[in-house]
Amino acid sequence: MRRRMRGVAVAAIALTSVMSMAACAKDNGGNSAGSGSTGTEGGCKLSEKPPAAAAANTTSSAAGQKVDGSSLKVGLAYDIGGRGDASFNDSAAAGLDKAKAELGIKPENIRELTAAPNEAEDAKLTRLRQLASEGFSPIITVGFAYAESLKTVAPEFPNVKFAIVDGTVEGATNVTPLVFAEEQGSFLAGVIAAYQSKNCHIGFVGGVETPLIGKFEAGYEQGAKAAAPDIKIEEKYLTPAGDFSGFQDPTKGQVAAQGQIESGADVLYHAAGASGKGVFSAAKAANAKAIGVDSDQYNQATVAESKDVIVSSMLKRVDVAVYDYVEAVAKNDLSSLPKVFDLKVDGVGYATSGGKIDEELKAVLEGYKAQIIEGKITVSDKPSS
């Protein structure tokens, strides 16, 4: 019996270590030679182009008066991944860095904490209470996962200002929601994919099947179909709701992307956080194209090896929202913040770095953008299927 028990013990250890190794799986590069399915025919039959946009209606907030934030103590609670995730945590960090530089926030008055994967709710509560009781205000929480804990913590510290990216907290007056119209930005990503595809066949890789990622998929599909009604769209989520490893697993992203490429898709859009690295490597290996998400991924150091396949990125300007929020707190005027960071306020958008978006496509995109802003096109935030 001893021996069997020992066998079980060894198996248990092996398993535990496999589990923890899986948690920190690294992208192992995309050197598998994919069977590039690059058809040379002309691409999609495109629908009529939208009327050109009237004028460049970029409502960039005029940086007029100098705002002084030197008295602020800013706390930031990141979601899983934290600074360096090449995705929306990094974008929040960029906003914080900008606030630090431009508003004169002292480095010792900034505290950044990060969530662990699969942590229990009380870990989030402790993190927020730590920040609040040490006098940090504003405290910015990144990710909807903080909504439940804010509901508890915010009323305990009525004088502390909280903000939550991607979430809303009902009934708490000291919590500012910073939410985005991801479906609008993704609509434009869908248009880009339809114009760039040679096979008239594109793909979407979502990290985790949550309502939030559903908004990306919904907008992408609608945009692609608006530009090319006959287009074929592959869609794949890496993990079901509740298993957040899908945002951190480049290997899974690579496999899913390879599958879509093999079935004919040649432009892939991902909304999969750090798993997106794998999507890019698969696209590079198979000579396909990819569209990044959240940040301007063409310029991102972590995916630099496959930057030439990145034709554009759907920008979700968490950095703008974080910076605007900190500035609004410094000015003591939260009413200037938009209710939703959408196309109109450049809260979402598309990146042109890399030069793959020519003037003609840009005009088309601006046309669609104007129609969305004017309300002629309403983008759904729920996938059709």
Partner 1 sequence: MGILRGKLLPPALAILFSALLCGIALVVSGANPARAFGAMVSQVGQGTTLVDIINSTGTYYIAALAVAIGFQMNLFNIGVEGQYRVAAVVAAVFGGSVVLPPGLHALAIIVVAALVGAAWAAIPAILKVTRGVNEVISTIMMNGLALGLAAYLIGDDVFGELRGNNIRTPEIAESGWVPGISLGSSGTIFGLVFLAALLGIGYWVMMNRTRFGFELRASGESATAAAAGGVNAKKMVLIAMLLSGAIAGLVSMPEILGRDHTYNLNFPAGIGFSGIAIALLGRNHPGGIAFGALLWAFLDKSGLALDNVGVPREIVTIMQGSIVLSVVVAYEVVRRVELTAQQRRVGRELEAAS
The span of 85-93, 164-172, 249-257, 308-316 binding partner 1 (CB under 8 A) equals 164-172
Smallest separation, CB 294 to partner 1 (Å)? 15
Smallest separation, CB 9 to partner 1 (Å)? 5
Q: Is 66 in the site for partner 1 (CB under 8 A)?
A: no
Rounded Cα distance between 138 and 130, Å, is: 13
Q: Is 109 in the site for partner 1 (CB under 8 A)?
A: no
CB-neighbour burial class of residue 367 (10 A; exposed 0-12, middle 13-18, buried 19+): middle
Out of 211, 230, 360, 363, name the contact with partner 1 by CB under 8 A. 211
Q: Is 144 in the site for partner 1 (CB under 8 A)?
A: yes
The span of 4-12, 66-74, 298-306, 330-338 binding partner 1 (CB under 8 A) equals 4-12
Out of 32, 47, 71, 133, name the contact with partner 1 by CB under 8 A. 133
CA atoms within 13 A on the CB side of 274: 22
Site for partner 1 in 215-274 (CB under 8 A): 239-244
Count of residues interacting with partner 1 (CB under 8 A):
50
Q: Is 113 in the site for partner 1 (CB under 8 A)?
A: yes
Rounded Cα distance between 254 and 236, Å, is: 12
Q: Is 135 in the site for partner 1 (CB under 8 A)?
A: no
- Which is nearer to partner 1, 215 or 356 (by Cβ)? 215
Closest CA to 160 of 191, 130, 184, 138: 138
Is residue 294 a contact partner of residue 87, using CB atoms and an 8 Å limit? yes
- Which is nearer to partner 1, 33 or 120 (by Cβ)? 120
Q: Is 118 in the site for partner 1 (CB under 8 A)?
A: yes
Q: Is 8 in the site for partner 1 (CB under 8 A)?
A: yes
Q: Is 1 in the site for partner 1 (CB under 8 A)?
A: yes
Q: Provide the sign of the torsion angle of the four alpha carbons 47, 263, 233, 348, taken in this order.
A: negative
Rounded Cα distance between 294 and 306, Å, is: 17
Phi first, then psi: give them for residue 188, nearest 5 degrees: -65, -35
Smallest separation, CB 327 to partner 1 (Å)? 24
Site for partner 1 in 19-58 (CB under 8 A): 19-20
Phi first, then psi: give them for residue 255, nearest 5 degrees: -65, -45
Out of 27, 85, 90, 166, name the contact with partner 1 by CB under 8 A. 166
Is residue 117 a contact partner of residue 23, using CB atoms and an 8 Å limit? yes
Q: Is 12 in the site for partner 1 (CB under 8 A)?
A: yes
Q: Is 102 in the site for partner 1 (CB under 8 A)?
A: no
Q: Is 147 in the site for partner 1 (CB under 8 A)?
A: yes
Q: Is 111 in the site for partner 1 (CB under 8 A)?
A: yes
Is residue 375 a contact partner of residue 215, using CB atoms and an 8 Å limit? no
Q: 265 vs 43, 143, 194, 199, 252, CA distance in Å?
A: 12, 31, 11, 7, 17
Q: Is 13 in the site for partner 1 (CB under 8 A)?
A: yes
Q: What is the dihedral of CA 195, 196, 200, 205, to 10 degrees?
A: -110
Smallest separation, CB 126 to partner 1 (Å)? 5
Tokens standing for 303? 């995916």
Q: Is 122 in the site for partner 1 (CB under 8 A)?
A: yes
Q: For binding to partner 1 (CB under 8 A), which residues are involved?
A: 1, 4-6, 8-13, 15-17, 19-20, 111, 113-114, 116, 118-127, 129-130, 133, 144-145, 147-148, 166-168, 179, 209-212, 239-244
